[in-house]
Structure 1
Amino acid sequence: MNDRDQVLQAARDLVTAFANNDREAYFGAFSADASFVFYTLEQPLLSRDAYQALWDSWRLEEGFEVLSCISSNAFVSLQGDVAIFIHDVATELRMQGELCFSQERETIVFRRHQQGRWLACHEHLSAAPQAQTTP
C-alpha cells in the first residue's frame, strides 16, 4: 500500500472510530502531542489528553453521543513524513437529549511514526461555507 492509501486508511479508521463512539480507537489515532482547533470552542486544545478530558465531560455531563459521521471529498497532500488530509464531514450527534446535525470542513495533519504508522497530530474543524449564515 502506498503512502497516500495508508493516509486515506488512517483517516477512514479515525472517522469510523468517531462514528462508532469508540473512544479508545478514536484517540488512539492521534499522537499524544496532537492539537485541535474547533470553531465551536473558544480556545485550541493543545494535547490529546485535553481533548479526551473534554470528550469525557461531554459524555458525562451532556450525554454526548455520535450517531453518524460521513466523510466525503477527501484530498491528501503528501509532504514527506507529513500528510495533509482535507475532507467534508456530515455529523449527527446527540447532546443534552437533542439531535444535532453539522456540515463541516476538516483538515487533519498526519505524521508518519515508527513502523510506518500514520497518526494524526493536528485537527482543524470549520463550519462548511454553506452551513454559515450571514448576519
Structure 2
Amino acid sequence: MSTQQVLEAARQLVAAFVSNDTEAYFGAFSEDASFVFHTCEQPLLSRAAYRELWESWQREGFEVLACTSSNQFVSLQGDVAIFIHDVSTRLRIQGSESLSLERETIVFRQQPQAGRWLACHEHLSAMPEPRPST
C-alpha cells in the first residue's frame, strides 16, 4: 500500500468526474460510501443515493466542464487513506456556467480482493473566504 496508489485512485476518480463518465465515476466508490456536500441539505448515505441525485442533476442539464485538483495530501491509516485536496470546478447547469472553489476530503479503503482503493466517504466544503487583513 502506498501513497502513489491512493493518488492514482484519486486521479482516476477526478478524471471520471471531469469526463462525465457516470459508470467509471460511481465505480470509484464502494456501495456503502457516504457523501457530505455543502450544497445538499442532508448527507447521502449510499452510493445509490448519490447516483440517484447525480442522474437527476444530469436530467436538469448538469455537466462538468473542467476540474482541477491541487494541494493534494495523503495520510495512510492502515487499510484506509485520507486524501485532501482543493478543487476548482467549472460546471454547466441548465445552460449557465459556474465556477466553484472547494476543499474536499475523500476517504479511500483498500480493497484487497479487487486489488485497488475505493472511495468510501467524500466530504466537500466551500473554500473558506480569505480573512481580512488587520
Shared fold (TM-score, shorter chain, > 0.5)? yes
Give the CA RMSD over aligned residues.
Answer: 1.3
- 2:82 is aligned with 1:92: no
Q: What are the within-5 Å matches in structure 2 for residues 1-135 of structure 1?
A: 3-60=2-59, 62-113=60-111, 114-130=113-129
Residue 131 of structure 1: how far off its partner (Å): 7.5
Q: Deviations over 1:32-58 (max 9, x none)?
A: 000000000000000000000000011
Q: Deviations over 1:32-91 (max 9, x none)?
A: 00000000000000000000000001111x200000000000000000000000000000
Count, aligned residues: 130
Q: Deviations over 1:84-125 (max 9, x none)?
A: 000000000111111011000000000001243100000000
User: Could you tell me which amino acid in structure 1 is paired with residue 53 of structure 2?
Assistant: L
Which one has the bigger helix percentage?
A: 1
- Over 6 Å off, 4+ runs: none
Distance 1:28 1:70 in 2: 20
Structure 2 gaps of 5+ residues are none
